[in-house]
Structure 1
Amino acid sequence: MATHTTMFRTLLACGLLQAGVATALPLDGALDTNWGLFNSGKSPIAFDYGGSMVDYANASVIGPDGSMYISGTVRDANGIARIGVTRLLPNGLIDTSFGNDGRAITQTSQGELFNTAGIVMRNNSLLVGGYKKTTVDNWDFVLCAFSTQGVPLLFNSTLTQCVTASIEPGPSLSRDIPYSMAVQPDGKIVMAGTTAVANVADTYAAFMRFETSGALDHSFGLSSSGIQIMRTGNFIRHQINAVAIASNGKIVAVGKTDVVGGNDSSALIVRLEPDGTVDHLSPSDECVFSVDGSDSRDTELLDLALVPGSGGEDDLITVGYAQMSGTVHSGLIAKRRGSTCAYDTSFSGGDGTNGYSIVTDGDSLTFQSVAVQPNVGYVVAANYTPSGGDGDWLIGRYRPNGTADLLISQIDFGLIHTSDVVADVHVFHDGIYIAGSWLKTGANYDFGAARLLLDQIFADGFDD
């Protein structure tokens, strides 16, 4: 097992990083001082319409011109949860022509909505997903649409901005929660998460596919319902955290599960055929694993990236965390081969062992998101919580063989260690884009974004 026990701590201690300030050396990972508020490389975005003012960013997408759209859950003037979206111009400043002074929220007629499944771009529209509370204990998948100018769009199937769908069978009061979504090349939308069948704690992996009109796609899933749920008898809980569409059209998803009789959660990978039927990755429908040394502690996958593999199959890069001791999270990045449940043993620092790398340094580190930097490696965004402190965003990079690169940047929006939470990361042209939330004061969270440079001197390689 490749375990980097001191990489993050050593770089911080040596002064290569300071909170919110990247190294002055011309390395990848410096904050872009031509981007963001006051050329800081960072952009805070407040909705602050009312209520508790807890505006919590969930995800982002990069437009073809380098603009950045960020979605999340915000509170309106009455304190009701709505889905909010903002747009940053290519220079990182808020586009005040978007929506209402740079911000757009779902219409009040759509009810209380929570953005948990993220945001995707389809042609000239933005699709945001999450769940709708129809009652206190009955939650349904919801998909809403905006134009790229922040104007509400109506789905043809319902002539409403948002469409909802409930998963059956299930209890009359159940919590159907999507955590991720992906757009297919034909414009159809796949949403993935969990649903309860016997009770709200008895969860199955759940998938839905929507037509471009907003109607459920009845060519997909169980009995042409547009819905697929799955979990074999070896497990008692499934949760899907991220979903992506492979180059061959298959649907790949990752998350966590609990094994019958176990005391911990294990990492979960599942795959569906393009029509929604289950595709076997192992002797079971599920590929499940925990890393060495964490068998009695949780392992969870939070994001994935697909990269070209062999035989027409994409390989799978996954990130998340493993508990190696106590309750402290250690960052996890792993690579799986194509259509199998096997590790790619060439990935793990090149030592040919087990196909994953762990960062364990005594502080809590969760790899939240991963993006591919073509021909270079994988950029990870992490939530970093030092002992006795609150969290910051931490950005790192891995080579194609799983070894850690020296690219590393710590981003803090307010005072050092004030509960800043990263949501996702993208690599676009010569920059790394990160979105998340930051604690302004008290319980008042705002959206936040940052852009890091991929330097021009070593743009196609590593700064060794």
Structure 2
Amino acid sequence: LIDPGFNPGTGVTSQQFGSPTVYALAVQADGKILIGGTFDTVEDVGRTNIARLNPNGSLDTNFIASTSLTDSFGNVAQVSAVALQANGQIVLAGNFTAVDDVTLNGLARLNADGSLDTNFNPSIILTNQFMDQNGNPISAAIKAAVVQANGKIILGGTFDTVNGLARTNLARLNRDGSLDTSVITGTELIYDFIDPWDPLNRIPVAAAVSALALQGDGAIVVGGTFTTVNGAGRNGIVRLNKDGSLDNSFFVGDGVEDGDNPGTVKSITIQPDGGILIAGQFTSVHGIGRNNLARLNPDGSLDPNFGLAENRRVDALASENDGFVMVADSSCDWGCSFTLKRLNPDGSLDDTFPLVRGEGLVKTMAVQPDGNVLIGGSFYNINLNNGADSIVRPGIARLYGNPGQPRIQFVSTQDPNTGIFSADITVNENAGVAIATVQRVGDTSNALTVDYATSDGTAKAGLNYVAANGALAFAALEVSKTINIPVLDDHLARYDLQFRVALSHPTSGGALGLSTLTVTVRNPDIGFSADGITRQANGQVTLSLYAPDSAHYVLEGSSNLTDWVQLGTNVLTFTDTTAPMLNQRFYRARLLTQ
């Protein structure tokens, strides 16, 4: 279920703050993955709140960008949204105050290589000061951003001024970052929150736009915590025309509600059939009971046949191409925990998908073109099989979108310290053969073939191993096969050498899991390395040896090949200071019996 070929290593961590979290994911056309959130280290390399991963989960070290650590009030800064433009540029949104030490309030644009686009410099502020329910001051924050087909950028969040002009929680920017003054659409600045323990106590709370999604015709679906848009009653969900004006044809109803208070829409996903999935914290939609997850018809009315199941607070969701829905719900009592589940197209629970649980939260999801699902959040371990199996994935992981799909991969093991899965194998060069085991999982009812091939690393075909390529043919219900690769003994003392084996082109609708491994050919010989005996200008001789870690040997010297003197034990380098006094000198490394 967890893709072992996606290895983020130590993942996202924080040296400054206690809870590193991934809040935003975006998959580029080349398969690389942008992550945004609250962190200052990614895979043990300094990266503050924004980083890019390679398709296999490793850090793209050529992409270097960082935001400020805090907002204008000293609260922890974060990147809340990442949006991709057609030209490869990247829009970052959050509550940061700087990017790459350049002052920027909550919004920035990066070039494709991670450098800052200094020509894009909008100003987003919150002139009124509000406190959250914990008494902390709220700074201006962009919580959602989408790029329209014409390159203009729709923003949602908590703010009241953009580029010096009044805009409350919604705004549209031109491609250069200037404010599109033709769009004047916004929510109220504050609403009254009714204290459930004291219904007569109404607490002013800042309204917010938390989610944006583009429909196929360019219309924009907006979600958040609000009760009006442009003065018209709209509870938590609304649609704008592609020009940014209020779409009055979108069904109004009662919107989303949470008991006596406005509900909150945290996530919106447009499905291939035009249906609109909304998730967040609410108890009803248009006056009909729905717990934190619902599906709207394309016109905004409630789909009565979807989402009748009970759900805890839903923090993230993603719609797969086949209509199935991935949902992450959570509860926070004594610490937070999440459950990741898959729903059938009608909203019922997919019983074939094993529940995935963990401590912490899943805050964002993204479906890749191959159907696999990326999840990001504040988790460290992911628990499978009712907690029997725990996989280390700090802050980000990739799951197979359809675990039942035929999948073929190398057999792997997990390092308990790093959580990394590896199929790599090590053999001595005198072993004669390296054996790689290939398995298939998911649906095994049909016959399937997969190609394999070796490729050189430091080990060279014909010298250190025999090149191998071909196809493995699995019969129906057959789940395991081996690849045997002859290894050659060159009888030379040298360091370990490596070559690779890769799988490709599975048939019968199969997909690849962990598809590459490295074979390390270990040298059991001891001896002098190339150019390992060197006479210095002063006549002394410097010796360099190679020996495997397990070898036990003595270095000896002689002037007549008969009488040998011990010079050292298990040494890899040695300088013979007596050599200048001798006419000739011989050296040997002698293996000792254990």
TM-score (norm 2): 0.51
Q: Which has the higher contact order (CA 8 A, sep 6+)?
A: 1
User: 1:22 aligns to what?
Assistant: none
Shift in Å, 1:105: 0.2
- 1:256 Cα shift? 2.5
Distance 1:176 1:339, change over 3 A: farther
1:152-175 CA distance string (max 9 Å, x none) = 2322x5xxxx532347xx648985
The counterpart of 2:67, out of the listed 85, 106, 113, is 106
Matched residue, 1:316: 276
**Residues 266 and 278 in structure 2, CA contact (< 8 A), matched pair in contact too:** yes
Deviation string 1:145-200 (CA, Å, 9 cap, x unpaired) is: 22343322322x5xxxx532347xx6489854321111112222111123469xxx
> Which residue in the other structure is 1:452 paired with?
399
8 Å contact kept, 2:67–2:97: no
Q: Is the 8 A contact 2:21 2:395 kept in 1?
A: no
Q: Distance in 1 between matches of 2:254 and 2:261?
A: 18
Cα contact 1:269–1:287 (8 A) shared by 2:
no
Q: Is 1:241 equivalent to 2:207 in the alignment? A: no
Which of residues 117, 122, 130 is equivalent to 1:163?
122
Amino acid at match of 2:187: M
Cα distance in 2 for partners of 1:410, 1:192 equals 31
Question: 1:305 Cα shift?
Answer: 0.7
Q: Is the 8 A contact 1:252 1:272 kept in 2?
A: yes
The question of 1:46 aligning with 2:51 is answered no
Match of 2:241 in 1: 273
User: Equivalent residue for 1:221?
Assistant: 183
What residue is the counterpart of 1:209 in the other structure?
Answer: 172
Structure 2 residue 359 is matched with structure 1 residue 397: no
AA partner of residue 245 (structure 1)? L
Equivalent residues of 1:140, 1:175 under 8 A apart: no
Q: 1:214 to 1:257 in 2, by over 3 A?
A: closer
Unmatched runs of 5 consecutive residues or more in structure 1: 1-29, 77-81, 198-203, 223-227, 260-265, 325-329, 348-355, 441-445
Tell me if the contact between 1:300 and 1:322 (Cα under 8 Å) persists in the aligned partners. Answer: yes
Matching of residues 52-131 of structure 1 within 5 Å: 52=17, 55-74=20-39, 84-99=49-64, 104-106=65-67, 114-115=77-78, 117-122=80-85, 123-131=87-95
Alignment deviations for residues 404-434 of structure 1 (CA, whole Å, 9 cap, x no partner): 112244254xxxx3xx222211121141110
Distance 1:375 1:56, change over 3 A: closer
Q: CA RMSD in A?
A: 4.0
Per-residue deviation, 1:399: 1.7
Are the aligned partners of 1:270 and 1:287 in contact in 2 as well (CA < 8 Å)? Answer: no
Q: Residue 318 of structure 2: SS of its match in structure 1?
A: strand
Residues 225-304 of structure 1: matches in 2 within 5 Å? 228-231=185-188, 238-257=207-226, 268-280=236-248, 288-290=255-257, 295-296=259-260, 299-304=263-268
3-state secondary structure, aligned to 2:209: strand
Aligned residue number for residue 426 of structure 1: 366
Distance in 1, matches of 2:17 and 2:189, equals 41
Q: 2:97, 2:321 → 1: CA distance?
A: 40
Q: Give the Cα–Cα distance (whole angstroms) in 1 for the partners of residues 56 and 320 of structure 2.
A: 21
- Structure 1 residue 299: Cα displacement: 3.5
- Secondary structure of 1:163 counterpart: coil
Residue 439 of structure 1: CA displacement? 6.8
Aligned length: 350
Map of 2:116 onto structure 1: 152
Return the alpha-carbon distance in structure 2 between the equivalents of residues 426 and 234 of structure 1. 32
Instruction: Kindly provide the amino acid, as one letter, of the partner of residue 423 in structure 1.
Output: K
Q: CA separation in 1, counterparts of 2:40 and 2:55? A: 27
Partners of 2:235 and 2:324 in 1: how far apart?
A: 23
Percent identical: 19
Task: Say if 2:187 and 2:227, in contact at 8 Å, map to a contact too.
Answer: no
Equivalent residue, structure 2, for 1:410: 356
**Letter aligned with residue 28 of structure 2:** G
1:187 aligns to 2:154 (yes or no): no
Q: Are the aligned partners of 1:53 and 1:75 in contact in 2 as well (CA < 8 Å)?
A: no
Check 1:287–1:187 CA distance in 2 against 1; reply closer, same or farther (3 A cut). Answer: farther
**Structure 1 residues 163 and 282, CA gap change in structure 2 (3 angstroms):** closer
Give the letter aligned to residue 254 of structure 1.
Answer: G
Q: CA-to-partner distance for each residue in 1:360-407, whole Å, 9 max, x for gaps?
A: 5xxxx321122111123211123344xx64223422122221211122
8 Å contact 2:160–2:169 — kept in the other structure? no
C-alpha change, 1:305 and 1:282, in structure 2 (3 Å) is: closer
On the 8 A contact 1:125/1:148 being kept in 2, the answer is yes
Rg: which structure is higher?
Answer: 2
* TM-aligned CA deviation for residue 52 of structure 1: 3.7
- 1:148 and 1:317 map into 2 onto residues whose CA distance is 31
Which whole-Å CA distance do the structure 1 matches of 2:396 and 2:321 have between them?
22
1:142 to 71, 84, 106: 106
Aligned counterparts of 1:251 and 1:282: Cα–Cα separation in 2: 11
Q: Matched residues in 1 for 2:297 and 2:363: separation?
A: 26
Looking at structure 2, the residues matched to 411 and 146 of structure 1 have their Cα atoms a distance apart, in angstroms, of: 35
**Structure 2 alignment gaps of length 5 or more:** 42-46, 131-137, 162-166, 193-203, 229-233, 285-289, 382-392, 408-441, 444-594
- What is the alpha-carbon distance in structure 2 between the residues aligned to residue 427 and residue 280 of structure 1? 31
Q: Which one-letter code corresponds to 2:308 in the other structure? A: S
Go from structure 1 to structure 2 and tell me whether the alpha carbon gap of 1:149 and 1:392 turns closer, same or farther (over 3 Å shift): farther
Structure 2 SS opposite 1:278: coil
Q: What CA distance in whole angstroms lies between the structure 2 residues aligned with 1:392 and 1:377? A: 23
Question: What's the secondary structure of 2:22's corresponding residue?
Answer: strand
Does structure 1 conserve the Cα–Cα contact (< 8 Å) formed by 2:227 and 2:236?
Answer: no
CA contact (8 A) 2:36 2:79 kept: no
- CA apart distance, 1:35: 1.7
Task: Report deviation, 1:282.
Answer: 6.2
Distance 2:177 2:396 in 1: 30
For the pair 1:373 / 2:320, whether they are aligned, the reply is: yes
Counterpart residue number, 2:455? none
How far apart, CA to CA, are the structure 1 residues paired with 2:313 and 2:406? 27
SS of alignment partner, residue 95 of structure 1: coil
| Residue identity opposite 1:454 in structure 2 | G
- Would the alpha carbon gap of residues 255 and 63 (structure 1) be closer, same or farther in structure 2, given more than 3 Å must change? same
Using the size of structure 1 for normalisation, the TM-score is 0.64
Distance 1:346-1:94 versus aligned 2 partners, 3 A rule:
same
Supply the distance in 1 between the matched residues of 2:355 and 2:123 (Cα, whole angstroms).
40
